[in-house]
Amino acid sequence: MIVLHFLSWILLAAEICIALPIAYLCILSISALIATRKRDKHKHDEFEDSAQTNFAILIPAHNEEMILSKLLESLSQLEYPQELYTIYVVADNCTDTTASLARQFDRVCVYERFNEKERGKGYALNWIWQQLAGRQHDAYVVLDADSVVVPTFLSAMDRELAHGALALQACNTVLNVTESPSTALRWIALTLMNHVRPLGRNGIGGSSTLTGNGMCLSRAILARYPWKAFGIAEDYQYYLTLVQNGERVRYVPEAVVRSQMPVTFAQMRTQDVRWEAAEPQQSSRRTALQLLKV
């Protein structure tokens, strides 16, 4: 009898462990649905004509000569005053023609960086911020070289910054959705992770994550929390720094950035392993803080 009683308590505990994350996801889904309906009421509203944010668009690129052109072409179609944004390509330890290709585009500033000891996106970003220290940019948008953006990308970011946001995350989704079953599955997964979840979190007063591609950081937030993220998942590392200090990242669904995803399941698994490998780099203490504050 005692054994049965003990087992019943174990089963109850297991049910609670299963129910809690399901309940959390349900709350986020409902919150995201409410937020979507609120935004739909204003979907035909024009973005404010009085753009005021001066943006620096940062593109860290390591041997990206085959894919960079699409991003630069999409940026040439931005519906935002040209005098209020500058595009910076950081040709980082490149051994190909990335730098010369980028120079063929109008209004693109190219910086070449060579440092064999400090390799990676985090170091490239920190370096370019140092180079731009004297420039009067209000906010910095970070884009991956294999991406494209919608024409209203900066307008959407500008609106949220004007409303007081200091750290923003764009809707980071898939460009080649119909190319293969794996890209279609990735689109479904990223819709849940990079749209429903951050929209729901913002709706209940929490924070979106930073996914690196499409993140926007104001000059004020970088002055308050200087960039010290140099791991595999530098975006997640900086995000933890923000939430640990009580900051919130605002999700901007109208600012859409689409990037190429692996075409085969084997390639997709390789990418997943890389993403998952970044998690252990964060201390358990900081991860716990993140869970408590978002």
Q: How many CB atoms lie within 10 A of CB 85?
A: 21
d(CA 278, CA 125): 18
Contact 239, 232 (CB under 8 A): no
Give all strands of the β-sheet with 108-113 in edge-to-edge order.
Answer: 108-113, 85-92, 55-61, 139-142, 215-218, 167-174, 250-259, 147-149
Look up residue 220 and give its two tokens.
């004020």
Contact 239, 130 (CB under 8 A): no
What DSSP letter does each residue of 37-72 carry, written as one string? Answer: HHHHTTTTSPPPS-----EEEEEEESS-TTTHHHHH
* CATH class of the structural domain 52-293: alpha beta
Q: How many residues would you count in the chain?
A: 294
Q: How far is CA 77 from CA 66, 72, 93, 138, 172, in A?
A: 20, 9, 28, 21, 19
d(CA 57, CA 215): 10
Look up residue 35 and give its two tokens.
């937020």
Look up residue 252 and give its two tokens.
């901007």
In the chain, what are the domain boundaries?
52-293
Question: pLDDT per residue over 188-206, tens digit each?
Answer: 888 888 888 998 889 888 9
Q: What is the pLDDT at residue 182? A: 82
191: exposed, middle or buried (Cβ count in 10 Å: 0-12, 13-18, 19+): middle
Look up residue 253 and give its two tokens.
């669904």
Q: What is the pLDDT at residue 108? A: 97
Q: Which residue ranges of the chain lie beneath pLDDT 70?
A: 1-49, 264-294
Q: What is the pTM of this model?
A: 0.82
